[in-house]
Structures are given as structure tokens and as C-alpha cells.
Amino acid sequence: SQTIHQWPATLVQPVGSPLSLECTVEGTSNPNLYWYRQAAGRGLQLLFYSVGIGQISSEVPQNLSASRPQDRQFILSSKKLLLSDSGFYLCAWSAQAVPNSPLHFGNGTRLTVT
Amino acid sequence: QKEVEQDPGPLSVPEGAIVSLNCTYSNSAFQYFMWYRQYSRKGPELLMYTYSSGNKEDGRFTAQVDKSSKYISLFIRDSQPSDSATYLCAFSTQKLVFGQGTRLTINP
């Protein structure tokens, strides 16, 4: 069966510090990968998605970037965090071979920028 | 008009009650319909996935889709305290669109 791992679960970082959140998927090959941010009362916001190694699409301009160095690894980064980067970050995957397949989420990272 | 409308609640019901959660949508191109359950401080978990009008049942959960009215519902029978969570509807065509989520509490 497929599993998705996301870490760390919680993170407190000062303004201006760098960020690296990692997500890995097991049990499937060539998945679509996604980074979402969830803010209270604002629902799920798609940040980045990837259909393959090195292929990243950005949905919104922001202080964050994403990379996919391996087929089942997705990384969310920032060089300098802003207070507004605080939130709940979720990684997700879907089966690329199945059109309109549902997303499966990790358990998220709660980021607090102080 | 928003693409997806979902009552944010909160909704509080006694244990054993039948719960009805609803979403409306405006995009006729949506072909696939999903419900996710999200416990506090966890990621959303896929509950139901369907692409046709009508009902789909899975244990105590029933997903209902009415494409003509652009309306989907999730029914929970014999609700349990463990059903307390936020429920998100989601719609798919070429991309996935989520509702805002309804926070549900089942009181013992």
C-alpha cells in the first residue's frame, strides 16, 4: 500500500531564517506531488505541484519554492521566512496514470514563524 | 459566485443522530466528487470518491450527488464521537477544488 511521510510535524522558526520541509511517498511510482497550505477559515491553497523529477509548477507567487530531486521526494523551501508564511503545510500525492485520481495527504507540518 | 460553497458550521449533534453535510458548486465541468475528513492537526483523509449522480454507500457513510442541481451531500448514520472532525468536499476536472470545510462535533 502507498504511504506518504511528511516531517517535521511542528516547526517554530524566526523571521528571516531558511525553511526546508520534506515529503516522501512510498509504494507507488511517478506520482503527481503537491504542496498545499491550509490557513484557518481560508481552506486549502495549492502552492506547487509536480508531474515529474525537476518539473515544478507554481500556483501563486510567494516567498516559497519547491523542488523534486527524486521521483518520490518533494521539498518545500524558503530562503528567508516571513511572518505570513506561518500555517499548516500539507504534502499530497495522486496517481499520475489515473486521470482525476483523488489526492492523498500527509499529516502536515504546522509552521509558526516568530 | 464562488465555485464551491460549503457551510463552515460549526455543526453539533448528539451521538446516534443522522448528519447531513452539503456543498453546492457552479462549475458544470466538475466530473469527480470527493469527501475528505480531517481530524485536528492531521491531514485530510479521503472518505468518498464518486463520479456519477446518485448515491454511493460505504458503511455508515453515504455520498449523494445531484449534477442537475449542482449539489452534493454526505450523510453519516448512527454518528459517533469519533466522527467529530472537519469535512471537506472536493471537486475535480483538470484540477481539484476544495470547499472551506464544515466542522462537525458529535456529543456523547
B8 in contact with A, Cβ within 8 Å? yes
User: Has residue A41 got a pLDDT over 70?
Assistant: no
| B42·A108 Cβ contact <8 A | yes
Average predicted confidence (pLDDT) for chain B:
94
B 73-102 residues inside an 8 A Cβ radius of A: 88, 90, 92-93, 95-96, 98-101
What is the band of B18 on the pLDDT scale with cuts at 50, 70, 90?
A: very high
SS3 sequence, chain B?
CCCEEECCCCEEEECCCCEEEEEEECCCCCCEEEEEEECCCCCCEEEEEECCCEEEEECCEEEEEECCCCEEEEEECCCCHHHCEEEEEEEECCCEEECCCEEEEEEC
* pLDDT score recorded for residue A83: 94
| B43·A108 Cβ contact <8 A | yes
Residues 6+ away with beta carbon under 8 Å from A114: A12, A13, A14, A15
User: Has residue B7 got a pLDDT over 90?
Assistant: no
* pLDDT score recorded for residue A54: 93
SS3 sequence, A10-50?
EEEECCCCCEEEEEEEECCCCCEEEEEEEECCCEEEEEEEE
Cα of A45 to nearest chain B Cα, Å: 9
Q: What is the pLDDT of residues B73-87, one digit of tens each?
A: 999 999 999 999 999
What is the band of A69 on the pLDDT scale with cuts at 50, 70, 90?
A: very high
Closest alpha carbon within chain B to A49? B95
* pLDDT score recorded for residue A108: 96
